[in-house]
Amino acid sequence: MRHNMIRTMAVILLIAGTFFQAEAKKKVDNFTLEDYNGKRHALADYSSSKAIVLMFIATQCPVSNAYNDRMVQLYKDYAAKKVAFVGINSNKQENVDDIKNHAKEHGFEFPILKDWNNTVADKLGASVTPEIFLLDKNFNVLYHGRIDDSRRESEVTSRDLRTALDAVLDGKEVAKGKTKAFGCSIKRVK
């Protein structure tokens, strides 16, 4: 009896692992959005990168703001390794002036794009800020979820995005393709 329960649990874990890996392997269609200066950016503009990090962020969300320094540090640590970072703001109440001021105040050197009608957020299924999609140069999702496991940097025990980025740059498969993102809900226009 106990042997059957252990075997059943192993099968459930295998199926769950396969589901999460399959979910993480979806492909993102090319899209074009404008940054806070009105410059158009297409996802295809970043196809020469080794990896692309799409970060759904907000100016007013305290959880997203708790990650501002970590986002800046991630960019500094990985941009020279040919990893592109793109912030996306999909909140209906946050305008381009808010986004521009927020980016300058927090030292974001990566582009922040405005997703006015939640088009990209809807296509990807992004629901909170911050929420991360790590793509390869062909726009396949390699990792989807959180930056790490705690809003409070001093309490972080799992640096999920860094682990995924390191695996990609080492030519390895991302072991954990999906984690649960947490934060403020994206305020949609619909």
Q: What is the pLDDT of residues 116-164, one digit of tens each?
A: 999 999 999 999 999 999 999 999 999 999 999 999 999 999 999 999 9
Kindly report, residue by residue over 80-105, the tens digit of the pLDDT: 999 999 999 999 999 999 999 999 99
3-class DSSP state of 56: strand
The sign one gets for the Cα dihedral 68, 71, 77, 80 is negative
Domains defined along the chain, listed by start: 2-185 (3.40.30.10)
Task: State how far the Cα of 154 lies from the Cα of 112, in Å rounded to an integer.
Answer: 27
If residue 98 lies in a helix (H) or strand (E), which one and from where to where? helix 96-106
pLDDT of 13 over the 80 cut: no
Residue-wise burial string across 94-119, b where 16 or more C-beta atoms lie within 10 A, e elsewhere: bebebbbebbeeeebebbbbbbeebe
d(CA 98, CA 80): 28
The answer to whether residues 59 and 187 touch, using CB atoms and an 8 Å cutoff, is no
pLDDT of residue 9: 44
Alpha helices in 42-95 (DSSP H): 62-66, 68-78
Mean pLDDT of the chain: 90
- Report the range of poorest mean pLDDT among 29-38, 156-165, 181-190: 181-190
**CA atoms within a 13 Å half-sphere pointing along the CA-CB vector of 155:** 6
Structure tokens at 133: 């999609």
Entry pTM: 0.86
Cα–Cα dist 189/171, whole Å: 39
Give the rounded percent of residues in the chain with a pLDDT score beyond 70: 86
- Residue 25: pLDDT band with limits 50, 70, 90: low
**C-alpha dist (Å) from residue 179 to 13, 51, 120, 141, 149:** 15, 18, 20, 13, 9
Give the least confident one: 25-29, 40-44, 178-182: 25-29
Of 1 and 158, more confident: 158
Residue 180 has pLDDT above 50, yes or no: yes
Could you tell me if 108 and 114 are in contact, meaning their C-beta atoms sit under 8 angstroms apart?
no
pLDDT computed for residue 189 by the predictor = 87
